[in-house]
């Protein structure tokens, strides 16, 4: 892949990679750094990169970078503070919608990491189960199951909070 093609394709995918990094790292600044790192890694390897499966390659690379950063963070004993967790843009939707979205965000944050990851790639990036399976290193049916399980968990928690304020 030549440099112009790499730049063009990466610009197309950078926001999806960034959002995926935010969902894994829960930190906007660190996610932005991870996205830049991802680009640097791909730039160094552009000679051997084929454009055919570039989308998956970007997502797999950003995932590996994020997992490395999470491991480093654990070693350094510096958990991210609650204030640094991702937040939603305040200007979008009505107050009721924002409240609902905030509940969904909090419920999603408490999901097991694999389910949260799958749910993010499916819901926010609109990816096919087949592509998600390639990124997370699983099978399509396992990913489909994880997604369904995650949605049902979120649903149950959401209903509980909305109806009973739990």
Partner 1 sequence: MEYKDLTKRYFDGELSPAEEQTLHDELAAVADNALTNDERAAKAMLHYASLKSNASVSVKLHESRTHGRTRLTDAIVALCSMRYARIATTAVLGVVAIAMAIHLSQPTVYGYHNGKPITSYDEAQLLAQDIFDNLAHDGFAENHDLQKLFTLD
User: Binding residues for partner 1, per CB under 8 A?
Assistant: 1-4, 7, 10-11, 14-15, 18-19, 22, 31-32, 35-36, 39, 43, 46-47, 88-89, 92-93, 96-97, 100-101, 103-105, 108, 120, 123-129, 144-145, 147-148, 151-152, 154-155, 158-159, 162-163
Structural contact between residues 116 and 40, judged by C-beta atoms closer than 8 angstroms: no
Euclidean distance between CA atoms 38 and 123, whole angstroms: 22
Euclidean distance between CA atoms 2 and 46, whole angstroms: 7
**Can you say whether the dihedral through the CA atoms of 55, 40, 70, 25 is positive or negative?**
negative
Residue closer to partner 1 by CB (options 4, 83) is 4
**Can you say whether the dihedral through the CA atoms of 109, 104, 142, 19 is positive or negative?**
negative
Residue closer to partner 1 by CB (options 73, 144) is 144
Q: Which stretch of DSSP H or E encloses residue 98?
A: helix 95-109
Closest separation in Å from C-beta 65 to partner 1: 13
Residue closer to partner 1 by CB (options 43, 113) is 43
Closest separation in Å from C-beta 163 to partner 1: 7
Closest separation in Å from C-beta 3 to partner 1: 4
Residue closer to partner 1 by CB (options 89, 137) is 89
Residue 33, token pair as written in the block:
């750094």
């Amino acid at each position: 892949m030549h440099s112009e093609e790499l730049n063009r394709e990466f610009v197309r995918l950078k926001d999806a990679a960034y959002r995926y990094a935010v969902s894994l790292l829960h930190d906007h600044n660190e996610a932005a750094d991870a996205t830049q790192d991802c680009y640097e890694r791909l730039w160094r390897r552009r000679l051997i990169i084929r454009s055919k499966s570039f989308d998956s390659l970007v997502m797999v690379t950003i995932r590996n970078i994020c997992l490395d950063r999470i491991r480093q963070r654990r070693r350094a004993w510096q958990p991210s503070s609650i204030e640094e967790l991702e937040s939603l843009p305040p200007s979008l939707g009505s107050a009721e919608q924002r409240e609902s979205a905030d509940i969904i965000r909090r419920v999603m944050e408490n999901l097991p990491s694999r389910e949260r990851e799958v749910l993010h790639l499916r819901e926010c990036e609109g990816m096919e189960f087949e592509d998600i399976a390639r990124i997370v290193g699983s099978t399509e049916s396992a990913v489909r199951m994880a997604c369904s399980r995650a949605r049902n968990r979120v649903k149950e928690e959401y209903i509980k909070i909305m109806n009973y304020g739990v």
